[in-house]
Structure 1
Amino acid sequence: MRPFLLATLMISTAATAQPHPPGQPPRTDLSRHDDEFSGAALDAKWTRFDQRYGWPDKLKRLDVGATVPGALHLQPYHGAWVRDLNAPFLFQTIDGDFDVRARVRVRGASGAIPGGTWSLGGLMARTPNGLDAASWEPRRENWHFVTTGAGLERGVPVTETKGTYNSFSSLKLRPFRSGWVELRLVRVGMTLFALAREEGGAWRVRDRFYRMEPNPVMQVGLIAYTTSDAVPPQREDPVRENKTVLADAPVDMLMDVDWIRFRRPAPAIDWKWQTQVREHPLADPNLSEAEILAALGS
């Protein structure tokens, strides 16, 4: 790791032991947000996006411990998180920087890979916009995610990373293994990193995002979405699609979540915008994957 970056991160990390200054997000412990899904029902600390904002329920099934012992199980209906479209999302509100990880598996009913295309699930961090189904406006969605499953090609396991800025989505699909994987989203000020690792493997950086987001509050949690071959391509209509549940459209996507865990990231960067744009060491576009991993830790 280059000396400047190492020295800056050492200073920043050491500063986390001090009370956060006025105007800065807190560095309080986040472990209260953890969930091992060891009970028989979804913990009350989770908020369902559809219920909170008045959208219809697009989950065919949600259970804890019934389908897979010790795991959250989700089966979404046809839908998507892209542009102005929404789909199932379970979240908790996080103030300030975070490092969230989850062990997940996205599969088909009778196979290790979902049967269709665009069938993915994983972690998302969304900036709340104050809108609900009744007050909805276009071009107001801002979020990032890292998911696993099948994307453009049927039967090909991938990770998908996606950044959405005022409802304009930019995505990347990269080959990855199927089965149980660990996904990770790390926010440090204006930077956000998406990582994944295979069972027993090392973390790999799947994407990096840079945005000046003054709101320290984000909704962080789990998404699941899939598409059905029975739904013909048509001009996108967010108002209609977000309010319609296609319960009869056949889909083949199951998501299991073994656990999800939250903590503060090791680096702690001053949140003043001047610092973020001039001195944020993780905002350097020339950072190698090795440097990012060394800074974020294991």
Structure 2
Amino acid sequence: MPAWLLFTLFLPAATAAADDLAHLNDEFAARATLGDWNLFHQRFGWPDKIKHLDIGATTDGALNLQPHHSAWVRDLNAPFLFREVSGDFDVRARVRVRGAERAIAGGTWSLGGLFARVPNGLTAETWQPRRENWHFITTGVGHVAGEQMTETKATLNSYSSLKLRPFPSGWVELRLVRVGMALVALARPDGESAWRVRDRWYRMENSRQMQVGLVAYTTSDEVAPAPEDPQRINRSVDTQAATDMMLEVDWIRFRRPALQVSGDWYGQVSGNPLAEVNLSERELLGLLGD
């Protein structure tokens, strides 16, 4: 038996009774719950890049989030609704990204999904470059118009590294799991029981606090390419540029991961099984559970 597997067998598994994150869940059945969410722009003093936001009005029984021209990449920011989570988490959401009149979002870089960001203590007033650290998994249209993808992206000190992979359109479940210094992104289309691993990361992350929630961003063909200036871009909103993208969220649910490992730094670097380079996808899914 591998030493890392033996290490995990003697750690307590998370139980429903011990799960302290259930109060963060939202089935989006009542409009009033929108007030329970932190809006990134309100919390930190940025301009509002949300084109439309409601619960139940546009899409029955779901949150509907439509962004203006925007992006989460490098030092740029976009619409983000979050809860504050301390420690490990397993967050899932049933989502759909589409256009107003078609199943695929318009334009390019029109994606939405799950986002986990490390707080950096900065506001619009105190902003500094190269301080963004986050991970996400989204679905929608990437670089090629009309092609549905998942995008996974990791950003370390505002340097973004991403992956685009083909994925079915329509309703999908997205999942983001943090176990210590490891994070795993998964997805599965409606009607499928098996999770598909879309990405996995391992990094030295000292902060137990993360902002976890829902992100949406899109680009408009009417905005001409220009040098990327986050000071200018983050502080302005183009409300006239045409966009055709909406993120619908049926529900979002939080819980502690089934896998628990030692929380101290040495336990992480010497025994976190999700960091094993030879860990197969089957073994990974077995450790994470359904």
Q: TM-score, normalised by structure 2?
A: 0.96
Aligned to 2:101: 110
Aligned to 2:86: 95
Report deviation, 1:43. Answer: 3.3
Give the secondary-structure state (helix, strand or coil) at the position aligned to 2:12. Answer: helix
Report deviation, 1:44. Answer: 2.9
1:290 is aligned to 2:279: no
Give the secondary-structure state (helix, strand or coil) at the position aligned to 2:220. Answer: coil
2:4–2:272 contact (8 Å) kept in structure 1: no
1:41–1:63 contact (8 Å) kept in structure 2: no
1:57 is aligned to 2:48: yes
1:7 is aligned to 2:14: no
1:264 is aligned to 2:263: no
Deviations 1:38-91, CA, capped at 9 Å, x for gaps? 002443321000000000110110000000111000110000000000000000
Report deviation, 1:109. Answer: 1.0
Aligned to 2:217: 225
Q: Which moved more, 1:229-238 or 1:5-14?
A: 5-14
Matches of residues 202-213 of structure 1 in structure 2 within 5 Å?
A: 202-213=194-205
Question: Which residue of 152, 160, 174 corresponds with 2:143?
Answer: 152
Give the secondary-structure state (helix, strand or coil) at the position aligned to 2:278. Answer: coil
Report deviation, 1:281. Answer: 1.2
Report deviation, 1:9. Answer: 2.6
1:33–1:45 contact (8 Å) kept in structure 2: no
d(CA) in 2 for partners of 1:13, 1:45:
32
Report deviation, 1:111. Answer: 0.8
Letter in 1 for 2:70: G
1:55–1:133 contact (8 Å) kept in structure 2: yes
Q: CA RMSD in A?
A: 1.3
d(CA) in 2 for partners of 1:198, 1:6:
30
d(CA) in 1 for partners of 2:116, 2:12:
23
1:77 is aligned to 2:73: no
1:89–1:224 contact (8 Å) kept in structure 2: yes
In structure 2, stretches of 5+ residues that fail to align are: none
Aligned to 1:24: none
Aligned to 1:22: none
d(CA) in 2 for partners of 1:73, 1:134:
29
2:4–2:271 contact (8 Å) kept in structure 1: no
d(CA) in 2 for partners of 1:12, 1:291:
17
d(CA) in 1 for partners of 2:283, 2:171:
26
In structure 1, stretches of 5+ residues that fail to align are: 18-26
1:37–1:72 contact (8 Å) kept in structure 2: yes
Aligned to 1:121: 112
2:148–2:168 contact (8 Å) kept in structure 1: yes
